[in-house]
Structure 1
Amino acid sequence: MASMQDLQNVAALLQSSLNPATGKQSEQSLRAAEVQPGFSILLLQIVASTDFPQTIRLAGALFFKNFIRRRWTDEEGNYLIPATDVSAVKNQIVPLMISQPPTIQVQLGEAISIMADSDFPERWQNLVDDLVSRLSPTDVAVNNGVLQVAHSIFKRWRPLFRSDALFLEIKLVLEKFCMPFMTLFQRTDELITENEKNKAALEPLFQSLLLIIKIYFDLNCQDIPEFFEDHIDLLMGLVHKYLQYRNPTIETDDDNESGPLEQVKASICELIQLYSQRYEEVFSKILPSFVDTTWTLLTTTGLEPKYDILISRALSFLTTVTKSPERAQVFNSSDILQQIVEKVVLPNMSLRPSDEELFEDDPIEYTRRDLEGSDSDTRRRAATDFLRELKERFEGLVTDVVMSYVDRYLQQYRADRNANWQLKDTAVYLFSSVAVKGTITASGVSATNMLLDVVGFFSQNIAPDLVDPTTHPILKVDAIKFIHTFRNQLTKQQLLEAFPVLSSMFLSPEYVVYTYAAITIERILSIRQPSSSHLLFDKEDVAPVAQELLINLFGLIEQGKTPEKLAENEFLMKCVMRVLMTTKDSIIPYSDFLIQHLAGIVTETSKNPSNPKFSHYTFESVAIVIRFVSPAKPGSFDSTLFPVFLNILGQDVTEFVPYAFQLLSQILDASPQPTLPDTYSPLIQPILSVSLWDAKGNVPALTRLLQSILAKSPAIFGAMNLLEALLGVFQKLLSSRANDHLGLDLLESILYYIPKSQISRYAVPIANIILVRLEKSRTEKLVSRVTHLIYFLASAPAAADKLLGPNFATEFFDVTPNALFGDIFVHFVLAATPKMHSPLDRKLAIVGLTKILFDSPVFVQKYNSQWEAGARVLLTTLQSNSLVDAFEGGDELPDAEEDLAFGASFVKLNAVVWKGLDPASAVTDVKKFVAETIRTAGHGVIAQVGPVSDEVKSGLAALAV
């Protein structure tokens, strides 16, 4: 039992963590305390205690959730806290969550979901029984707590791929939960009916109903359970009742925020969309009634923002229904399609006053919602998707109906541009909706409606708006967006002509205008040539305007006067990144300007990282400048960037630390200095500290940095008595399934660079560590990496002062008298060789295997019985179609990460390129190397190993020609 003093101390730290001035230090103190036994229970006591203010209890719940995410289990599923704490947390968490207000419930629910992910059902078998036992026929508050817990557990199934383990877990839940679930659904319906005029009673009941609908989806997300199929009329009857339910008592007066009833109906639309997509056979009889109700809902619901999600989901449901050719036939007439456009599409596609307010008051949110491919639920996107699906079914009819409105609206706009500009906005959206064929991907539109002239529409109706200063800002955005949407349909020359116009938009005072210009320029520069992986635009196309573009972009970004405002607009920084990617070494003349601005932005945003995408694009931009400028101006940025990175490390800016390590490694690799610069020496001891390696996001970058240091100064670890600490890092990485490949990467650098005199006494312990891991926790990935290690060692030139070469590769694992390498070679190495796919891996496999077979007296003498098996794999690998002659990758940068969020995961900087350590760099033509080796040593070796089949002999002879 924690003492009152302990409670007060932790509560005080939680309180001070809410203060920006003391937050970082308090967080570090809490992180230091969390390793103590009983800490998790102490946090739960604070959350449960009404003696503490709500803010402290909520901070405690949030810290508890993050603590569980960090320290519940490791990658292997082993608990990281004492068994007594695990048991106590499981016993306390469910009843505690049920009793808490919604804000705290959300945090505890996420914690339960994390715990259930590793423990349920095997190690938490009573969880569902515990939940079911707490359901009450009368206590709605308790039921809502139970349902919240259940949803937090079951929703984990939604994105998962099917597996036996997953279906076993779902089956266990269904056996215990289905009947209580249906009973509660019915009882909730009864209570809603009984309290029809009682708002205070209805609000928690509709919270129950919302959770019931969400759990209905959870339980059916992978497959339709037999129970739900057997009771479909009863259950879907209740669902249908609430899709058409109306009651002024529970309807919200707020026009902007959706209320309980709107939320329930939106969730119902999501559920029936699942059923119409996945379970049409079961759902087909009652589907028409849902379609009719949805149609009524769409044509009678107002345009207020509170209905936006509901309308969006309802349209998504109808879009799914339309995907069925049979069901879509009901729409196969001009009159019906005209009704659909008139009553459903136009009201939801037209600009509303609330949209104009958003454009003015929250332009970044307007942009994110409007952007094609956004995950925001908007009426416009849903109406567009519905119209496109109808057009896919009835292209001619839909095109005719829609274009009649487009033409009418454009005529009205021309008659009075000031009064009717919204009509042109609708016309452009309508045209774009039916002009696109198929889906729009990140690469843009691949095909268009052959009945429409997209380029002609652009010339007549869009291009003038780009240059006319009197055009309404929203129509200017529409014009820019048209280029963005149909960029693949415009020629390179047309896009080049549009470039100066788009660039001029950076001088616009309108936030959405210049943001969309940045988005469109970035996407144009991402276009690839038809039937080619090469980009359409190169540095010669962009270099003349790049400096002006970048000056304007930095000017817009740096309008933000706080870290949060500075990082608000990731689209501007992504455009900076793409311009830099395209111009490459053309930036050299003004690179100091670039680094000064980027360093300033990193310094400011590090005070409060708030936008992970903006941060990633900023660091990617820094890496691009280093990559292309360092060869011409080596070391020119060190004095600017080093203090920035040291500040990030010193302040422990968790979100930025992995980026700092990647860039430190990149700068070191680019340094022409043959030895380690003095600025790096003080970093060596700190980066070997355990705490840094406990943060998952740091691990890949730290490994790379150690490899870069080893390449510059291999003897420094011995000189600082840190070699065993370095090997300790290798052992820690190897013990983790998530990081074992990084451990072997590090080991390769250790063996390649560190002198034999320092490392030889550790060879046997290292080999034993690898063998134990292979024996106890073997995975295909680990076998592949151990194979790579053997080939890496074998392909390196043998040297008296290094543990390298084919003899050492053969002897390395012979740490017992049982001649173990022979078994490893046949069962692991040869089996894994055909699965090595990267060019460098395949090169090292071929060179390494050739050297083992023809240049290792140890192998030939000890393992002659395995020689022919190795020769067969060598022949097969060399004949493989996937063998490539060019082992150097291209210089083109891949697209940056799109799915970015702060957290424990590592995000690689694409501009930080490391092609891998190549111990066989002297071999430039693999086939020639093999041929020369066979000609030189082939006959002698074959004579030593004994009988070799004629097939293998002739195959090797053919290679030697």
Structure 2
Amino acid sequence: MAHDNMLTAFLIALGVYKEQWPLYASQVVLETAESEGVVAARILVNDEVCLEWQPWVDLHGKLHHLAMSKGQLAPRYDPSSMKGHLLQTVHPMLQLVASSKGIPMNEYLMRTVARIFSFLKQQGAETGLATLSPLSAILLAMSANPSNPVFNHHLFEAVASIVKVCVPAQPDAVESALLPTFGQILERNVVDFLPYTFQIMGLLLDASPSIKPLYTELFARLLNPELWRSQANVPGLIRLLRAYFAKHASFAELLKTHMQAILERFQFVLMNRKTEVAALDLLNAIYQYLPIEFYQQFLKTLMTVLLTRLQSSKSPKFKRDFVVSCSLCIHKNQSVIPLFNEIQAGLLSNLVLNVWPPVLKMPLKTDERKVCVMAVARLLSLDEMRQNTQLVGACAVGLVHLLGLSSSNNKSKLNGDEGSDDEFLENAGAGQEYEVSFNKLQNTDLPGAAAGLAPDVPELQSAAKAALKPVLGAAPLPERSEIVFFVLAQTPLSLSRSLAPSLPLPLPLPPPSLPPFLSPRCNPARCPAATSSEAKAASGRCVDRCFPNHRRSGMPFAAS
């Protein structure tokens, strides 16, 4: 028994599909017969012969690729052997979708196309490039009335799976096939398609050897406040901005000119519980790809805003992401460490004793553990840290957990929804009444781009040893510093909780003193960031550079 869409795919794979959608309770019969020692077979669909008698050996080749042994977890074939059988099914499926035969907007057909190219990878590059044109035409047609969110998602997933395979070798051809369609989607502001379009454009920009004028013209529009008000757009916008940051040499002047606007959008996203994690993704992209000269003048303000948000957040996931982001910043730019104590005396020690330890015991991804280890090693080189037994002990306990040296394996999972308003959205938010939901595409990073936050740290244990050796060779450590030697020796160690005693909660932060673009209160008529003409045109509303704070804080001049 099978559904009609599964039966269609089965018949296409056998080469007997007649471009007629299977009726309800359709029957597929495989008949075999033996004559003079030769086994032959034929296929009937609803008592109609679709494949005449032929030697079983010929038909067995097709069936073999579809078969899996009992208990087998992976198919018994490789992409090269399946290439011909799979690629011949792509064009008929796209014809079905384009002609609206059978079930309109059948998401299973688009899912099949996406999985074919994800499986074949480079084996399907040539056919994939030719497939982009009909997919682009389908995309443009569906943009007129995007009524099926699940189909739309798999349509973009199919496009992304082909782009990921083809764009490294033929970026110009891929851009020629897709950019005109994407340009129309952006021009017509098709809100259902914008989150996906931003993601794929980020992938295109990552692989583009030459910068097309469209990317330069598009940048200022990406910072339009209206786009950032939709939660669905935020992760896709950040993915595209990350591609701009990665090519900062080509966009240097553009990025420097708009850095203030980028940070405005960062704060706006940070003040919403449902997008605060995405805000830290944007900040991590800034730390990872941009030279510090691009944003150094804003660092103290950024840290103040982050710490203020940390105090009001009850989400363990946000605290984890905060520590990872700060660790990345310290790893990339050690000069930022003094900023913490400039914001408030003793703040760095307070964070290391109260915020860092619980996070370092949480299950972290490999790249997150790498940046945390490198940050802790840098912190241990500070005199402020080395002269405090509790700080050294807390750092050492964190290193033991990060390097996996603890005898007890922490199997607990982080409940990222605690203290958050987020809810799981079935079918990627399909059918949501008020706003398009965001769903990340699986194929929006180039092959080999999985190095994460610390591509300069290939192996964690060796990097930890190298980073800690200068610390051990410096001035004498406090009496409990022998823990660090255990870490270097990679000796399993169970540490007492007494090394990280319970301390008072972090000191309350004073109200931040922020520049105009981040000021919590602003009057357009008096705002230093607004010219007299802007203030006059505002007519009682805040100018664009100040609106995020007003919108979040409920100030009288909140933008509508």
1:712 maps onto 2:265 in alignment: no
The whole-number CA distance in structure 2 between the counterparts of 1:923 and 1:528 is 41
Deviation string, structure 1 residues 897-936 (Cα, Å, up to 9, x no partner): 96562542101111123766745322212111222333x3
Q: Kindly tell me: are residues 583 and 785 of structure 1, through their superposed partners in 2, closer, same or farther at Cα, counting changes over 3 Å?
A: same
Deviations 1:439-461, CA, capped at 9 Å, x for gaps: xxxxxxxxxxxxxxxxxx98889
Q: Are 1:861 and 1:945, in contact at CA under 8 Å, matched by a contact in 2?
A: yes
C-alpha separation between the residues in 1 aligned to 2:208 and 2:6?
44
Q: 1:911 aligns with which of 443, 451, 472?
A: 443
Q: CA deviation at 1:959?
A: 3.4
Q: Deviations over 1:143-174 (max 9, x none)?
A: xxxxxxxxxxxxxxxxxxxxxxxxxxxxxxxx
Q: How many angstroms apart in 1 are the aligned matches of 2:60 and 2:347?
A: 64
Is 1:587 aligned to 2:120, yes or no?
A: no
Say whether 1:920 aligns with 2:454: yes
Verify the 8 A CA contact 2:194 2:233 in the aligned structure 1: yes
Distance in 1, Cα, partners of 2:326 & 2:59: 54
Match of 1:933 among 445, 463, 467: 467
Q: Does 1:872 align with 2:411?
A: no
Work out which of the residue numbers 199, 206, 223 in structure 2 matches 1:688: 223
One-letter code of the match for 2:111?
A: K
Q: 1:792 to 1:608 in 2, by over 3 A?
A: same
Within the alignment, does 1:616 sit opposite 2:150 as a pair?
Answer: no
* TM-score (normalizing by structure 2): 0.69
User: How big is the shift at 1:960?
Assistant: 9.6
CA deviation digits over 1:83-125, x for unaligned, max 9? xxxxxxxxxxxxxxxxxxxxxxxxxxxxxxxxxxxxxxxxxxx
Question: SS of the residue aligned with 1:594?
Answer: helix
Aligned with 2:396: secondary structure? helix
- 1:696 deviation in Å? 1.6
> Separation in 2 of the partners of 1:759 and 1:847?
22
Q: Which amino acid aligns with 1:901?
A: A
Name the structure with the higher helix share.
Answer: 1
Q: Please tell me whether the aligned partners of residues 768 and 815 of structure 1 are also in contact (alpha carbons under 8 angstroms).
A: no
Could you tell me whether the CA contact under 8 Å between 2:231 and 2:437 is conserved in 1? yes
Distance 1:782 1:930, change over 3 A: same
Is the contact between residue 795 and residue 919 of structure 1 (CA under 8 Å) also seen in structure 2? no
Identity of aligned residues (%): 23
Q: Tell me if 1:959 matches 2:495.
A: no
Change (3 A) 1:956 1:719: closer
Does the 8 Å CA contact 2:32/2:42 hold for their aligned counterparts?
no
Matched residue of 2:340: which SS?
coil
Give the Cα separation in 1 of the matches to 2:71 and 2:80: 19
Q: Distance in 1 between matches of 2:385 and 2:266?
A: 31
Structure 1 Cα separation of the partners of residues 69 and 243 of structure 2: 34
2:183 is aligned with 1:646 = yes
Pairing 1:663-702 to 2, within 5 Å after superposition: 663-673=200-210, 676-702=211-237
Amino acid at match of 2:362: K
Shift of 1:726: 0.3
Specify which of 417, 420, 430 is matched with residue 901 of structure 1.
430
| Equivalent-residue separation in structure 2 for 1:549 and 1:700 (angstroms) | 33
Partner of 1:778: 314
1:823-877 deviation per Cα after TM superposition (whole angstroms, max 9, x unaligned): 1112111210121422221222223323332xx3365467564012211221233
CA displacement at 1:529 relative to structure 2: 9.3
2:86·2:116 contact (CA, 8 Å) conserved in 1?
Answer: yes
Computing the radius of gyration over CA atoms, which structure comes out larger, 1 or 2? Answer: 1
Cα RMSD (Å): 3.9
The equivalent of 1:766 in structure 2 is: 302
Output the CA distance in 1 between the equivalents of 2:194 and 2:121.
Answer: 26
Measure the CA separation in 2 of the matches of 1:922 and 1:960: 25
- Shift in alpha-carbon separation, 1:919–1:781, aligned structure 2, 3 A: closer
Separation in 2 of the partners of 1:495 and 1:771? 65
**8 Å contact kept, 1:840–1:916:** no
Please, which runs of 5 or more residues in structure 2 have no aligned partner? 9-22, 34-38, 51-57, 411-425, 493-560
The within-5 A match list for 1:597-608 is 597-608=134-145
TM-score (normalizing by structure 1): 0.42
Is contact 2:223–2:261 with CA below 8 Å preserved after alignment?
yes
Deviation string, structure 1 residues 28-52 (Cα, Å, up to 9, x no partner): xxxxxxxxxxxxxxxxxxxxxxxxx
Alignment partners' CA distance in 1, 2:306 and 2:488: 37
For the structure 1 residues 623 and 916, does the alpha-carbon distance in structure 2 shift closer, same or farther, using more than 3 Å as the test? same
Please state how far the C-alpha of 1:689 moved relative to its aligned partner.
0.9
Give matches, 1:823-838, under 5 Å.
823-838=350-365
- Residue 778 (structure 1) shift: 3.4
SS of alignment partner, residue 831 of structure 1: helix
Output the CA distance in 1 between the equivalents of 2:327 and 2:221. 32
Give the drift of 1:535: 5.2
Residue of structure 2 in register with 1:545 after alignment: 85
Tell me which residue corresponds to 1:840: 367
Instruction: Quickly say closer, same or farther: Cα 1:566–1:639, change in 2 above 3 A.
Output: farther
Give yes or no for contact 2:266–2:283 (8 Å, CA) kept in 1: yes
User: Secondary structure, in 3 states, of the residue corresponding to 1:945?
Assistant: coil
Give the counterpart letter for 2:43 in structure 1.
Answer: V
Question: SS of the counterpart of 1:467?
Answer: strand
- CA distance in 1 between counterparts of 2:409 and 2:206 reads 30
Shift of 1:672: 3.6
Alpha-carbon distance, 1:545 to partner: 2.3
Give the CA deviation at 1:733. Answer: 1.3
The superposition leaves residues 666-687 of structure 1 with CA deviations (integer Å, 9 ceiling, x where unpaired) of: 11122244xx543201111111
Contact 2:171 2:207 in 1 (8 A): yes
Identify if the C-alpha distance between structure 1 residues 789 and 542 changes in structure 2 by more than 3 Å, giving closer, same or farther.
same
CA distance in structure 2 between the partners assigned to 1:930 and 1:601 by the alignment: 51
Q: Greater RCO between the two (CA within 8 Å, min separation 6)?
A: 2
Task: For 1:107-186, list aligned pairs within 5 A.
Answer: none
Residue 720 of structure 1 and its aligned partner are, at CA, apart by 6.5
Structure 1 residue matching 2:295: 3-state secondary structure: helix
Q: Give the SS at the match of 2:343.
A: coil
Question: Match for 2:266: what amino acid?
Answer: F
Amino acid at match of 2:175: D
Name the CA distance, whole Å, in 2 between partners of 1:626 and 1:910.
12
Deviations 1:187-234 (A, max 9, x none): xxxxxxxxxxxxxxxxxxxxxxxxxxxxxxxxxxxxxxxxxxxxxxxx
Asked if 1:467 is matched to 2:37, the reply is no
One-letter amino acid matched to 2:274: A
Deviation track 1:324-362 (CA, whole Å, cap 9, x = no partner) reads xxxxxxxxxxxxxxxxxxxxxxxxx9xxxxxxxxxxxxx
2:120 and 2:165 map into 1 onto residues whose CA distance is 9
Q: Please tell me whether the aligned partners of residues 367 and 453 of structure 2 are also in contact (alpha carbons under 8 angstroms).
A: no
Residues of 1 paired with 2:124 and 2:198: CA distance? Answer: 24
Cα offset, 1:691, TM superposition: 0.6
Structure 1 letter corresponding to 2:44: D
The answer to whether structure 1 residue 736 and structure 2 residue 267 are counterparts is no
What is the distance in 1 between the residues matched to 2:112 and 2:298? 50
Give the distance between the partners of 2:444 and 2:60, measured in 1 at CA: 30
Separation of aligned partners in 2, 1:756 and 1:927: 28
Is residue 2:204 matched to residue 1:660? no
Q: Which residue of 2 aligns with 1:559?
A: 99
Contact 2:277 2:318 (8 Å CA) reproduced: yes
Q: Tell me, yes or no, if the aligned pair for 2:171 and 2:209 is still in contact at 8 Å.
A: yes
1:394-409 alignment to 2 at 5 Å?
none
What whole-Å deviation, never above 9, does each CA across 1:550-609 have from its counterpart, x for those lacking one?
222223222239xxx895322322222222222111122233311111111101111111
Structure 2 letter corresponding to 1:606: S
Instruction: Provide Cα deviations, 1:640-695, integer angstroms capped at 9, x if missing partner.
Output: 2111111111111111111111110111122244xx54320111111111110111
C-alpha spacing 1:795/1:567, structure 2 compared with 1 (3 Å): farther
1:498 pairs, out of 55, 63, 72, with 63
Residue 857 of structure 1 aligns with which residue? 382
